[in-house]
Amino acid sequence: MTKITVGKVKTVFTTSEPDEVLIQYEDRVTAGNGKKELWVEDKGRVCMNISSLLFQYLERYGISTHYLNSIPERIMTCKKVDIIPIEVVVRNVATGSIVRQTTLEEGRIFNWPLVEYYLKDDEKDDPLLTEDRIRLMGDYPLRDMEQTAREVNGILSKIFREIGLTLVDFKLEFGYDSKQNLLLADELSPD
Ligand SMILES: Nc1ncnc2c1ncn2[C@@H]1O[C@H](COP(=O)(O)OP(=O)(O)O)[C@@H](O)[C@H]1O
Ligand SMILES: [Mg+2]
């Protein structure tokens, strides 16, 4: 096993299978794009288990994800993907940066959920992108990512509602596997 990426909260390893990776969830918590950090015992295991459950749940609803398997306590086997450097954010309720940056009031409910794109680049502080900027950056499957993000939102909002939780907002990452399939990747957790 060779480390291929040491991220803020996860470490990615190669395996004997060239199309697969092992993703180890660490006990690290970060905020402000890595500027603040904290170590919380068991956090990696909890986030791995929640991600694993949610990826399996989404697969059952026909969403293509990178998830293959999980290994106790905090390792996930996934299809290796080339991550698209665009974070797709879905918002059902206004809070956080959208409230700071606009005139929208905290708690405003979006009947038509908002789908936004941010550059995945901590050094640039993950800026909000426009569709025109993305078009200039390259040929990215924006409409497919948007549609999948809306489907994921519908599926997850329903199961969260059933257990008494409101899905306020979340971030998705996508990537292409070796056969050029677009897959939902990274992590689905309250991290
Ligand atoms: N299936 C995958 N194949 C390859 N890389 C992946 C896969 N899923 C997630 N990644 C990448 O692994 C890296 C490690 O995760 P993380 O610690 O969250 O990093 P970051 O600091 O970039 O947020 C991220 O760059 C993420 O995009
Ligand atoms: Mg990350």
Q: Kindly give, in sequence order, each residue whose CB lies less than 8 Å from that of residue 148, ignoring residues fewer than 6 positions away.
A: 63, 172, 174, 182, 184
Q: Which atom of ligand 1 is nearest to the CA of 185?
A: 8
3-state helix, strand, coil split of the chain in percent (to 5) is: 30, 35, 35
177 lines ligand 1 (CB under 6 A): no
Nearest listed ligand to the Cα of residue 48: 1
Report pLDDT digits (tens) over 14-55: 999 999 999 999 999 998 888 899 999 999 999 999 999 999
Residue 80 has pLDDT above 90, yes or no: yes
Q: Which two tokens stand for residue 63?
A: 């969403």
Residue 191 has pLDDT above 90, yes or no: no
H or E element that contains 21: strand 20-25
Kindly state the DSSP code that residue 73 receives in the 8-state scheme.
T
Q: What percent of the chain has pLDDT over 90?
A: 96
Greatest distance between any 2 Cα atoms in the chain: 52
pLDDT at 18: 96
Report pLDDT digits (tens) over 129-162: 999 999 999 999 999 999 999 999 999 999 999 9
CA of 11 to the centre of ligand 1 (A): 8
> What residue owns the CA closest to ligand 1's atom 6?
186
